[in-house]
Chains A and B, each alone.
Chain A
Amino acid sequence: MTDIDNSGAETEGASSGSMAPAQDRKTVKQEQRKELFATPSFIIGAVILSFWVLCSIVPGLFTKWGENEVIRLADGSTIPRTGPGANAWFGTDTIGNDVFARVIYGADNVLINAPISALIAVLAGAVLGLTMGYYRGLVDEILSRIIEAILSLPVILLALMVVVVFGNSRIVIVLTIAALFTPVVARTVRSAVTSEAQLDYVMSAKLRGESGWFIMMKEIFPNITNVLIVEFTVRVGYAIFTVATLSFLGLGAGDQSAADWGVDIANGYSLIQSGQWWISIFPALAIASLVISVNLIADSIEKVYNS
């Protein structure tokens, strides 16, 4: 016979009957990670992405030709402007370089610059969004106006103007893109922070006399990490977009003769009509595959962590 306990709590179990009691933080995170790794879209995206990451780290693994090395056949001749075939899987460009090699070597520019700018943008945007969203007031108003002003022009326009002025070094490009993405991230973070700030636990913290800094960083911030992760993956996609477009326009980072997908497309697109399609199309497919893989990963992360 059950003892009727007037406080009722001792035998009151945890929430839903299907959850095992005493699950601590580690298990929940582990569960989410397992779910993520089992999602098909994540797997496909991760595979493609890993391939390109490997290409940028150890390109020599995949191709024996260098990026600016003209293919020489056994008899010493060169084969410029040749379509895909046994000697060159992706064909050769106008000079005679192996397009396949250039595709492999061309990965690193996009792959390194884009995530770094996205990361910087997310960090800066988080700081900005937290401050704006928690403190509100005049600073928030002014910053919001500035953000709106920046957002009225497309990123690529501002980026190209800055690069023309300040030069196309890697650091200029990375910082410019980061600076141009920060406002969007800040706006998203601000919105999440203002929602959180209305919840009662924030009021409860104020009633304890906690400082603004503590509430912002220790109470609110842990609840918006999901937003930041999703924003990061989305921004990487757009960063790839911008980096590739800059390269295509001839404003990409560094040495213009180095292998770079955008540059190669620029070099080859006018030749498509005359039939030499492979010079541009393979780098184009490479960009497309990278973007798709990043999107797949971003989407599966969002599904798992936002449920």
Chain B
Amino acid sequence: MVRFIVRRLLLSIVTLFIILLVVFALTRVFPSDPAKQLAGPFASEERVAQLTESLGLDDPLPTQFFRLVRDVVTLDFGESFSQPGVRVIDLVRPALWNSAKLVFLALMITLPLSIVGGIVAARKKDTIIDRSIVSFGLASASIPDFVSGVLLQFIIGVQLGWLPSISNAPADAGFFGQLEYILLPALAILFVYFGYIARITRAGAVTALDSDYARTAYMKGMSTSEVVRKHVLKNALQPTVAVTGTQMGYLFGGLVGLERVFNYPGLGNLILRAALAPDFPLLQTSVVAVAVIFMIATLTSDLIIAWMNPRARLDVGEN
């Protein structure tokens, strides 16, 4: 087990290195010059040259890259280009925290509903209930998050007025106060994911319900709900856990459109601003943050699956 985790961590480091390389390469091909942006439209050439040197942008590329790697490893992410004097980490941390809050709420709503939906659909396979759940999930899947966001904003936020339509909670809002403000975007995420997760859960549950071990359980004299509870769930939910893990990257860094609709200061929003500025340290750091979250999430989901499925423990190095 320990060997497995260590191996995964080493692989993750390799992956992070590759990502860092790609982001670095991209930023150095940026059309706009951050020094010029920073200096402003009226600055003199000397001023720009001065800034370029102080930002370290005139050093040879390999030097810049090594500096970047060193910074990341020592967790010193430097100062923002677009907001001089402000440490990058102080910009990334709140955005990360905001995204975490939204993701947490979204999962709290989405996972139970989708899983229950999937299991109900599997139990009532080929009935109206099944077809409705599947059709609804089908219809809403891959509707872009900002599209659902806009529609929800309109219907629930404006027309019905049940919830605030911009996610700008006042600074002193308590837990439930904040909740109110991010409920709409969380619902938008529900729409994006319900179909996907319900279908995967349904497929897993159908396989488990049709399995020989479910049949054995029935033959022992168990009722359907007992069979589902005691035998089906652990087997059926493994694909669901796997999928949820892999989607974490998107949930933390990919909700750019949704964050814009609700004016929510999440990580996606931050990355977009950093790319447009361009603010290299900020961009590099926040992209790495997304990658790290993805790796932690997939490692966690693999470990959960190993806990659920003893056969999978062979893959994680136990016997």
A contacts B directly (C-beta below 8 A): yes
Cβ contacts B245-260/A at 8 Å (1 or 0 each): 0100110011011001
B97 interfacial contact with A, CB 8 Å: no
Q: Is the CB of A238 within 8 A of B150?
A: no
Picked from B26, B30, B144, B276, the residue with its CB within 8 Å of the CB of A244 is B144
* 8 Å CB interface, B5-37 against A: 11, 14-15, 18-19, 23, 26-27, 29-31
Neighbouring A residues of B249 by C-beta, 8 Å: 152-154
Task: State the Cβ distance, B146 to closest chain A Cβ, in Å.
Answer: 5
Picked from B138, B144, B276, the residue with its CB within 8 Å of the CB of A164 is B276
A41 to B139, CA, bound (A): 11
B142 interfacial contact with A, CB 8 Å: yes
A177 to B14, CA, bound (A): 24
A265 to B31, CA, bound (A): 27
The stretch of A31-39, A64-72, A101-109, A269-277 in contact with B is A269-277
Cβ contacts A275-307/B at 8 Å (1 or 0 each): 101001100110110011001100100000000
The stretch of A84-92, A118-126, A141-149 in contact with B is A141-149
Q: Is the CB of A160 within 8 A of B142?
A: no
B291 interfacial contact with A, CB 8 Å: yes
Q: Is the CB of B144 within 8 A of A152?
A: no
Cβ contacts A212-245/B at 8 Å (1 or 0 each): 0000000000000000000000000110110011
A149 to B26, CA, bound (A): 16
Most buried by A among B29, B257, B272: B257
Query: Contacts A161-B26, A295-B139 given: A288-B153 contact, CB under 8 Å?
Result: no
A287 to B148, CA, bound (A): 10
Neighbouring A residues of B142 by C-beta, 8 Å: 237-238, 240-241, 291, 295
A71 to B250, CA, bound (A): 41
Task: State the Cβ distance, A76 to closest chain B Cβ, in Å.
Answer: 33
Query: Contacts A237-B141, A292-B143, A295-B141 given: A157-B150 contact, CB under 8 Å?
Result: no
A156 to B145, CA, bound (A): 12
A155 interfacial contact with B, CB 8 Å: yes
Picked from A277, A291, A295, the residue with its CB within 8 Å of the CB of B154 is A277
Query: Contacts A153-B19, A245-B256 given: A296-B29 contact, CB under 8 Å?
Result: no
A285 to B150, CA, bound (A): 10
Q: Is the CB of A153 within 8 A of B18?
A: no
Neighbouring A residues of B151 by C-beta, 8 Å: 281, 284-285, 288
Task: State the Cβ distance, A275 to closest chain B Cβ, in Å.
Answer: 8
Picked from B257, B276, B290, B294, the residue with its CB within 8 Å of the CB of A245 is B257
Task: State the Cβ distance, A22 to closest chain B Cβ, in Å.
Answer: 33
Q: Is the CB of B294 within 8 A of A152?
A: yes
A153 to B22, CA, bound (A): 12
Most buried by B among A160, A164, A291: A164
Chain A: number of interface residues, binned into ranges = 35 or more
Neighbouring A residues of B217 by C-beta, 8 Å: none
Task: State the Cβ distance, A183 to closest chain B Cβ, in Å.
Answer: 13
B80 interfacial contact with A, CB 8 Å: no
B204 interfacial contact with A, CB 8 Å: no
Task: State the Cβ distance, B148 to closest chain A Cβ, in Å.
Answer: 8
Query: Contacts A157-B287, A272-B165 given: A295-B147 contact, CB under 8 Å?
Result: no
A154 to B268, CA, bound (A): 10
Q: Is the CB of B143 within 8 A of A287?
A: yes
* 8 Å CB interface, B64-96 against A: none
Task: State the Cβ distance, A150 to closest chain B Cβ, in Å.
Answer: 9
Picked from A152, A166, A299, the residue with its CB within 8 Å of the CB of B15 is A152
Query: Contacts A157-B268, A248-B260 given: A149-B15 contact, CB under 8 Å?
Result: yes
Task: State the Cβ distance, B250 to closest chain A Cβ, in Å.
Answer: 4
Q: Is the CB of B158 within 8 A of A273?
A: yes
B243 interfacial contact with A, CB 8 Å: no
A287 to B142, CA, bound (A): 10
Most buried by A among B138, B146, B287, B291: B146
Q: Is the CB of B254 within 8 A of A145?
A: no
B179 interfacial contact with A, CB 8 Å: no
Q: Is the CB of A145 within 8 A of B146?
A: no
Nearest residue (CB) in B for A281 is B154
Q: Is the CB of A157 within 8 A of B254?
A: yes
Neighbouring B residues of A148 by C-beta, 8 Å: 15
A165 interfacial contact with B, CB 8 Å: yes
* 8 Å CB interface, B122-175 against A: 135, 138-139, 141-148, 150-151, 153-154, 157-158, 165-166
Task: State the Cβ distance, A216 to closest chain B Cβ, in Å.
Answer: 28
Neighbouring A residues of B253 by C-beta, 8 Å: 153-154, 157
Q: Is the CB of A157 within 8 A of B290?
A: yes
Neighbouring B residues of A166 by C-beta, 8 Å: 29
Seen from chain A, the residues whose Cβ lies within 8 Å of a Cβ on chain B are: 41, 145-146, 148-149, 151-157, 160-162, 164-167, 237-238, 240-241, 244-245, 248-249, 265, 269, 272-273, 275, 277, 280-281, 284-285, 287-288, 291-292, 295-296, 299
Q: A265-B150, A272-B153 are in contact. List 20 more A-B contacts (CB 8 A).
A: A148-B15, A152-B15, A153-B290, A156-B250, A157-B254, A157-B290, A161-B275, A164-B276, A164-B278, A248-B146, A249-B256, A269-B153, A272-B150, A273-B165, A273-B166, A284-B151, A291-B141, A291-B143, A292-B138, A292-B143
14 A-B interface contacts by CB (under 8 A): A153-B19, A153-B287, A157-B253, A160-B271, A165-B30, A248-B257, A249-B256, A265-B150, A269-B261, A272-B157, A284-B147, A288-B151, A295-B139, A296-B138
10 A-B pairs with least C-beta separation: A154-B254, A154-B250, A237-B142, A152-B294, A149-B15, A149-B18, A245-B257, A164-B275, A284-B147, A292-B139
